[in-house]
Structure 1
Amino acid sequence: MKNARNLLAALLIFFSFNAGAQNTAKPINFIIPFSAGSASDVITRILLEQVTTNTGQRFVFDNKPAAGGNIGTAAIARAEPDGFTMGTSTSGPLAINKILYPDLSYDPEKDFQPIALIAILPNVVVASSTLNINTLAELNDYLRKNPDVAYGSVGNGSSQHLAGAYYEQLLGVKMTHIPYRVTANLVTDLVAGRAPVSFQLLPNVVGQIKAGNIKPLAVASNKRLAALPNVPTAAEAGVKGYESAAWFAIVAPKGTPKAVVERLNKDIVKASADPNVRARFTELGAEPQASSPEELQRYINSEIKKWTDIIKKGGITLEKS
């Protein structure tokens, strides 16, 4: 009976996605495990608004922020796999938290049906303008000569924290991690030089970069950011292999009908290619993606493996910097 219901749901969604902009079929409940206005929320809505424009399929957004994204992500895993509930999750709940939370209530590698990787937001190595540093090579020299330079992040286990820990390991230097609860406080201390270095996501610091209060030194990606075309990659600046990013993916409960997955993936790929969507992602410092479900599964697996090694080497826990 359950399989029959899922098949019927798959057919309903398949035909609704083909009905065009006049579609009035049942909307899809879409869980976002972070607050309204967060990067996850904004990126998801930009993309799915375009899917709605293209297909007429409606989405009802349900923000469930708590526990580093674990609560909302668990709600996706526990939902009925009938194609009417899915959501966006990120590198934290889908990779990092499997390592940091011993009692995680879901398995990122087994409890979801991947649909598509939709965006990657690389970390950017930045320094306060109070430091007389203009290049990554100068920063590296400064860190080697001055142990325990402070760097700020939005909390233990965040992409910013792990990007800093990874940088320490690659360079063989020792820095002091300062976790902040409020991003605005972090940025204030970065500008003032109290925590003079950070491994930030561009939306958090773009205003201060434009104002000249923070200097972007390198992008932790294999290619330059369109929003920072004159800022080199870490490899170009001399630190090879340094890649770190927050990323965003759409997943559904395990067992969601294949027809639903394939159809939604196709429409996400089309929406991701829209020039307006790409331009808006670029403004956020995000690189648009459009993976297949199989590519997303491999990406999740590889990210868990990569960060397991880095976290264990750094002795990082939720309580320890």
Structure 2
Amino acid sequence: MFIRISRPAKALFGATLLAAGALASAPGLAAYPTQPINFVNPYSAGGPSDILGRIVSQNMSKILGQQFIVQNKPGAGAAIGAAYVAHASPDGYTMLIGTAAAHAVSPLLEKTPYDGIKDFKFVGMIANIPNVLTVYPATGITTVKQLIQESKAHPDKFSYASAGNGSSPHLTGENFKLVTGAKMLHVPYKGAAPATTDMVSGLVQVGFMNLPAVLPFVKSGKLHALAIAASSRSPTLPDVPTFAQLGYSGFEGSSWYSLAVPAKTPDAVVQTLYSALANTMHDPKILKQLAAQGIEPFLMDPAQTKAFIIKDQQRIKGLLKAAHLIK
């Protein structure tokens, strides 16, 4: 397990890696935090963002000496939770675990009551999680090639689940259809947990879900994993090939996760939160927990995170246009 982190972030991390006591006594920061912090997850409970968010927030809580209260506010492609945080008081007591859907996709797909970038200050990037193509075993589909062929021969046969409109699994599914010509109906949910539940029951036959959501069901045989949309195989599912290994080069799909607060939050507060996040993402116990879920740490400082999201929004815009989801 490793942490991808650029040189500027390494330098910043070295300057800001602080113990809980140092955080409390830092000049100008003595008054923060003095009360619990609302940690908003824009998806339903039990999904990858919930799993990751609880692992990270619990450790940040220990460092900062205040409770993190997880609030699930799912719906509208993560826009409901994102809007809630964007319009919250900019005092550092309301934070969003964000995704591409919240910050980049939903604002492109529809008119949202917030700007995915301008209405936030980014605390940092946390992790990157690959998507996995899974099928309901009763379909009899055992390979990606077979799924493509069957879907073309029977266009109304397969539906694929995602964590919601604009989510990474949704974009991965649409890209898969675009690249391979597969025919499948998209069924959006309010998060990975309810989507996975319907996949396991056979109500939908296919899914492009974040690895943590489907991992226990793949291991138990309730879902069959055909391929992982990553550059390399996952240590948690070493027998599952990448799409590239199956001959579908350049096809990758993953979800990044960030932390953000309202735009007018003081920089000193943002720095305190980033310091706690950096401590967390260098904790061997936390890295072990993340690895067990197939989650890859992807730490970036506030400035790098904003630059990354702006660039990724442009990439996503191109994909949405190619899939005829926007003009």
When normalised by structure 1's length, the TM-score is 0.79
C-alpha spacing 1:39/1:127, structure 2 compared with 1 (3 Å): closer
Give unmatched runs, 5+ long, in structure 1.
1-13
Detail structure 1 runs of 4+ shifted over 6 Å in the superposition: none
Residues 17 and 55, structure 1, Cα contact 8 Å, conserved in 2: yes
Amino acid at match of 2:210: L
Residue 152 (structure 1) aligned to one of 160, 181, 199: 160
SS in 2 for 1:236: helix
1:222-261 → structure 2 map (5 Å cutoff)? 222-261=231-270
1:95/1:108 contact within 8 Å kept? yes
Q: Which amino acid aligns with 1:80?
A: S
Choose the corresponding residue for 1:124, options 101, 110, 132.
Answer: 132
Residue 199 (1) aligns with residue 208 (2): yes
Alpha-carbon distance in structure 2 between the residues aligned to 1:313 and 1:268: 36
CA 151–287 in structure 1, closer or farther in 2 if over 3 Å, else same: farther
Which residue is equivalent to 2:323? 314
Corresponding residue of 2:309: 300
* Partners of 1:282 and 1:217 in 2: CA distance: 21
- What stretches of structure 2 of length at least 5 have no aligned partner? 1-19
Q: Is the 8 A contact 2:227 2:242 kept in 1?
A: yes
Structure 1: how far apart are the matches of 2:66 and 2:80? Answer: 26
Looking at structure 2, the residues matched to 204 and 25 of structure 1 have their Cα atoms a distance apart, in angstroms, of 32
Q: Is the 8 A contact 1:187 1:205 kept in 2?
A: no
Question: Structure 1 residue 132: deviation in Å?
Answer: 5.0
| TM-score (normalizing by structure 2) | 0.78
Q: Is the counterpart of residue 51 in structure 1 residue 60 in structure 2? A: yes
* Number of positions where the alignment pairs a residue of Structure 1 with one of Structure 2: 297
CA RMSD of aligned residues (A): 3.0
In 1, are the aligned partners of 2:76 and 2:165 still within 8 Å (CA)?
A: no
Change (3 A) 1:299 1:63: same
Counterpart Cα distance in 2 of 1:131 and 1:65: 30
1:177 aligns with 2:190: no
Partner of 1:6: none
Contact 2:121 2:261 in 1 (8 A): yes
Question: For residues 275 and 245 of structure 2, what CA distance do their matches in structure 1 show?
Answer: 35
Give the aligned partner of residue 15 of structure 2: none
Any idea what SS the aligned residue of 2:132 has? strand
* 1:176-223 residue CA offsets vs partner (Å, 9 max, x unmatched): 334467422233116xxxx44321223333333123242212211223
Conservation of the 8 A alpha-carbon contact between 1:147 and 1:175: yes
Higher mean displacement: 288-297 or 123-132: 123-132
2:290 to 263, 281, 287: 281
SS in 2 for 1:75: helix
Closer, same or farther in 2 for the Cα pair 1:31/1:271, shift >3 Å? Answer: closer
1:82 alignment counterpart: 91
